[in-house]
Amino acid sequence: MKKIIYNSIFIIIIFFISILILHSISVFYLQNSDLQSSKKKPYEIFFPSNSITYQIGYKILRPIIESRVDYYIKKHGLEEYLRNTKSKVHKKANFTFYDLTQGNGKTVICGQDISVIIYKISNTITTNIKDIINNFPNPENIKLGSHNIQELNYAIDRMQEGGERIVTINSGKNSGNYYVKLIANKSNNLQNIQNILIFNNAIKNYNGIVNTIRCSDTVSVKYTVRNAQGKPIISDHVAHFTVGKGQVPISLELSVINMESDHTRAVIVPPDFLQDFKSQIDQKDIKIIDLQIIN
């Protein structure tokens, strides 16, 4: 009788340990060097405690958990995805931001003329920002993309007038926290940017570093312009430019913002964004621009 009771208690304990672990584990897919060091699986399972209870439960349940993860990967066709991503290295952004005030005016786009307050602060506590508001400098009048701190160009892009934002630059000579307030968008162009439609397509078997193109970055792209029926008008041209400086037609600049180098992109552009192409193409109807980043 005692043996039955002890066995029952043991089963109950294992059951509760299982519930705890299954509710708390996290599955992370490994990439790059992590994949090379992983002997068998393209993922690693983590749980939030180093206690002996979790350790024992994990040892017991590991085969079951991995079996379910493997089944999920196979069922949803993720094997090819994991194979294609294992050789990619996503370049980490050197900045983060969060909004203090969302803003409700016009949205600013890379290359537009703006009025903005930028103030480097010692911390990100809102009350301290208000305490030092009298020390803020006068607004700067700049073309977005021309600021000498590149990460601020990145972070201001797509802000709205009246918006306030804390930008943190993680490393480098400009590292620290910056208070940004967008006073005004002084440009009247690009107000119908929402009419531009963007479609991304992953490049199979892409190897190497994945870069994200942002405002003020310099980039080389190969592009083809097609009419609404898909017939090429301009084929396989190469453009080398800095985003926001107006060195190429505005539709090209807008098309590459936030584009990743492991994707191609097809962009449907309305006629009012085609004027910079001048006599190369007509401006009567929409055009399709196919883009690929080149090294």
Same domain? 105 vs 171: yes
For every one of its 295 residues, what pLDDT tens digit does the chain have, with 9 covering 90 and above? 555 655 555 565 555 555 544 444 444 444 444 444 444 565 666 555 555 665 666 667 777 777 777 777 676 666 666 666 555 778 889 999 999 998 898 999 999 999 999 999 875 455 555 555 666 778 999 999 999 999 999 999 999 999 999 999 999 999 999 999 999 999 887 777 878 999 999 888 888 889 999 999 999 999 999 998 999 999 999 999 999 999 999 999 999 999 999 999 999 999 888 888 866 788 788 999 999 999 7
Contact at 8 Å (CB) between 289 and 255?
Answer: yes
Same domain? 199 vs 272: yes
Torsion, CA 40, CA 46, CA 51, CA 56, rounded to 10: -40
pTM of the model: 0.68
What pLDDT sits at residue 27? 46
Same domain? 62 vs 138: no
The answer to the question of residue 21 being in a domain is no
3-state helix, strand, coil split of the chain in percent (to 5) is 30, 30, 35
Contact at 8 Å (CB) between 35 and 86?
Answer: yes
CA distance 290 to 251: 12
Same domain? 150 vs 239: no
What pLDDT sits at residue 126? 52
CA distance 100 to 158: 15
Tokens 């350790």 locate to: 55
What pLDDT sits at residue 206? 84
Q: How would DSSP label each residue in 1-43?
A: -HHHHHHHHHHHHHHHHHHHHHHH-EEEE--THHHHH-SS-SE
Tokens 């705890």 locate to: 20
- CATH number for the domain including 118? 3.10.50.40
Q: Where are the alpha helices (DSSP H) in the chain?
A: 2-24, 33-37, 52-75, 79-85, 126-131, 150-156, 250-256
Tokens of 114: 């703006």
Q: Cβ atoms within 10 A of the Cβ of 10, count?
A: 10
The answer to the question of residue 228 being in a domain is yes
What pLDDT sits at residue 35? 40
Same domain? 111 vs 167: yes
The answer to the question of residue 31 being in a domain is no
Number of compact structural domains in the chain: 3
Same domain? 78 vs 100: no
What pLDDT sits at residue 36? 43
Residue 283 has phi, psi (to 5 degrees) of -115, 35
Q: Which domain holds residue 221?
A: 193-293
What pLDDT sits at residue 63? 77
Domain end residue (candidates: 146, 164, 185): 185
Same domain? 204 vs 169: no
